[in-house]
Amino acid sequence: MVGAGGIGCELLKTLALSGFTDIHIIDLDTIEVSNLNRQFLFRQSHVGQSKAKVARDAVLKFRPNINITPYHANVKDSNFNVEFFKQFNVVLNGLDNLDARRHVNRLCLAAEVPLVESGTTGFLGQVTVHVKGKTECYECQPKPVPKSYPVCTITSTPSKFVHCIVWAKDLLFAKLFGDKNQDNDLNVRSKDDSSSKTDVFERSVDEDLSQYAQRIYDHVFGYNIETALANEETWKNRRKPCPIYVKDALPEDAVQLNGSSKDHKVEEHEPSAMVSLGLRNPQEIWSLADNSRVFLEALKLFFEKREKEIGNLIFDKDDQLAVEFVTAAANIRASSFGIPLHSLFEAKGVAGNIVHAVATTNAIIAGLIVIEAIKVLKGDYQNYRMTYCLEHPTRKMLLMPVEPFEPNESCYVCSETPLVLEVNTKTTKLREVIEKVIKSKLGMNLPLVMVGASLVFEDGEGLEPDEAANYALNLEKVLAELPAPVVNDTKLTVEDFQQELKCSINIKHRDEFDEEKEPDGMVLAGWSGPVDKQVTSNGNKRSVPSSSRADDVNSTAEDVPLKPGMKRKLNEILESHENSDTLQNKSDVGSSSAQLVEDDDDDLVMLDEDPKQGKKKRLQ
């Protein structure tokens, strides 16, 4: 088992009660208070402890004679390698992020161990079976990537509240409290000295904290908006924003008394601007004045109560003060741009990508996982099923079983099909390709990059100092200037020894890219890229949700007869394989059903494609 969260707790219990006697469970996380409403093996006294270890202890109380081995560790650690996975009969996933899922999928393929995938979001869920050579692997079909927005939209022309949240969370919060060396697109030049190289966000040693907070407020909500208004071309077809200064939002006496009301005693352990200001209802939409008070108070509390953390903070949806600051900042910016304000409860949902979990869905999915695991152990491939849990009945069913698909011939993971990367080889650095494509899109952790027989980059431990230094120099070189130049029609070989994954990338030079549609400045073809319909929820992502509704999945499971030439059943393929060493007359393997991307009540749900298309392509 990988994952001991919402699905994991139910799964471990069901496995134990179904007669499984030797179970290994890996989970990196510790127990949080927010887990207790659905992860029933945990109690208040367990907060802060290892999920894997506590889950083991809880199950052994009612099944003391079975063997459960817990690992409080990251499944991506080097000790969980292919050899480790080979010892198991089946691997069951209950993870909360795509990166770990892809990693486990690759290890299972390399170890030739069957994988049962799963996930839930709200009332929706699914279970899928992946067996090398018999069914598609987890990465044969597209998976969602976090929705991203052009920098110019976030910094200059927001039109939705989510744009304001991204600005407040990823730009302003990061600038004030995060890594000072990280790139940031906020204007740091002050109104008084725009030619100076001084960063307006830097606080001088003797500067009064209240004055500093007001100066930041006036800079980001006042001066920066005025600067943006100076470009009249931008606002020809857009509503102009209104600069907001502290003096406009708050009376002078209110600024002086901010957070010092004698009516509210501050006895909480965790600093909170809401408590300081006597704001109690997180579902109330604050006025501009209240948002301004919360912004100033939260900023001051960070410097007064959590100064040691400043410089290392990353936004966390469970950090009350961070959520208060981001909510207030997003609302003030929204007010400036004429965008409706939101409550803290709503803003937290957007910033933390939250879709609330349903414990019953986890229990249903855990039961389905065990059913598929038993089929795998019995070798009953004829009856493997991908099962979808729906919110509303379709054909009078809430559980919709679908026969698995054959492997996708164009999958770069299990079929080793070459990829194509369009990139400007004269301006793009090797570092950009590794970060944006090889690590981010292809999910490799410790990549090795070769151009022909020349090794241009290697990541990992055990490198000699001179080798590491040489690879570091290569990272900063543009592709065409590498020791083995990468130009049009060059073939890259990329490998990750930990995942035992190897693929080829054919380079196509391209001079220009659309900044809005192709913000990475490169386009990768042949991989399972982003899809249009997705709903993200409360995984630890630094991304924002798209606006698509997960409810669309309800229309995807209707049976439509296959036309001649469409994808064949897994059963037919396997029977053909048993009668002959080679598979003949393969039909189109690139199609897919509309499919939920699975997550352990903490992440995301999506549809791979237009449901009408999916209905026609699903196996009958």
Give CA–CA dist 5/94, Å, rounded.
Answer: 7
Report yes or no: 252 and 246 within 8 Å, Cβ to Cβ: no
Q: Is 37 annotated as a binding residue?
A: yes
Give CA–CA dist 7/361, Å, rounded.
Answer: 9
Q: Is 3 annotated as a binding residue?
A: yes
Other CB atoms within 10 Å distance of the CB of residue 498 = 21
Beta-strand relationship, 491-496 and 447-451: antiparallel
Rg (CA), the chain: 27
Give CA–CA dist 342/283, Å, rounded.
Answer: 9
Q: Give bridge partners of residue 26 from the DSSP assignment.
A: 2, 71
Q: Output the CA torsion sign for 141, 147, 153, 157.
A: positive
- Tokens matching residue 607: 């549809």
Q: Is 140 annotated as a binding residue?
A: yes
In the annotation, is 152 catalytic? yes
Q: Is 540 annotated as a binding residue?
A: no
Q: Is 411 annotated as a binding residue?
A: yes
Give CA–CA dist 130/106, Å, rounded.
Answer: 11
Q: Is 178 annotated as a binding residue?
A: no
User: CA of 267: how far to CAs of 47, 157, 346, in Å?
Assistant: 22, 41, 26
Q: Is 385 annotated as a binding residue?
A: no
Give CA–CA dist 567/590, Å, rounded.
Answer: 9
Q: At what angle do helices 320-336 and 288-305 cross, to 10 degrees?
A: 140
Q: Is 100 annotated as a binding residue?
A: yes
Q: Is 508 annotated as a binding residue?
A: no
Instruction: Tell me the one-letter amino acid at 59.
Output: V
Q: Is 7 annotated as a binding residue?
A: yes
Print burial letters for 190-213: b (CB count within 10 Å at least 16), e (below 16).
beeeeeeeeebbebeeeeeebebb
Q: Is 27 annotated as a binding residue?
A: yes
Q: Is 203 annotated as a binding residue?
A: no
Beta-strand relationship, 533-536 and 604-607: antiparallel
Print burial letters for 446-457: b (CB count within 10 Å at least 16), e (below 16).
bbbbbbeeebbb
For the chain, how far is it from start to end, CA to CA, in angstroms?
Answer: 30
Adjacency order of strands within the sheet including 522-525: 454-458, 447-451, 491-496, 501-509, 419-423, 522-525
Point out the catalytic residue in the list 152, 164, 389, 503.
152
Give CA–CA dist 529/411, Å, rounded.
Answer: 11
Q: Please, which residues have CB within 8 angstroms of residue 356's CB and are 6 or more apart in sequence? A: 122, 537
Q: Is 389 annotated as a binding residue?
A: no
Task: Say which DSSP state 255 is in.
Answer: H
Q: Is 6 annotated as a binding residue?
A: yes
Helix (H) or strand (E) holding 524: strand 522-525
User: How many Cα atoms within 13 Å fall on the side-chain side of residue 296?
Assistant: 29
Instruction: Tell me the one-letter amino acid at 250.
Output: L
Q: Please, which residues have CB within 8 angstroms of residue 205's CB and are 6 or more apart in sequence? A: none
What residue numbers does the annotated binding site for ATP cover? Answer: 3-8, 27, 35-38, 51, 96-101
What residue numbers does the annotated binding site cover? Answer: 3-8, 27, 35-38, 51, 96-101, 137, 140, 411, 414
What residue numbers does the annotated binding site for Zn(2+) cover? Answer: 137, 140, 411, 414
Residues with catalytic function: 152
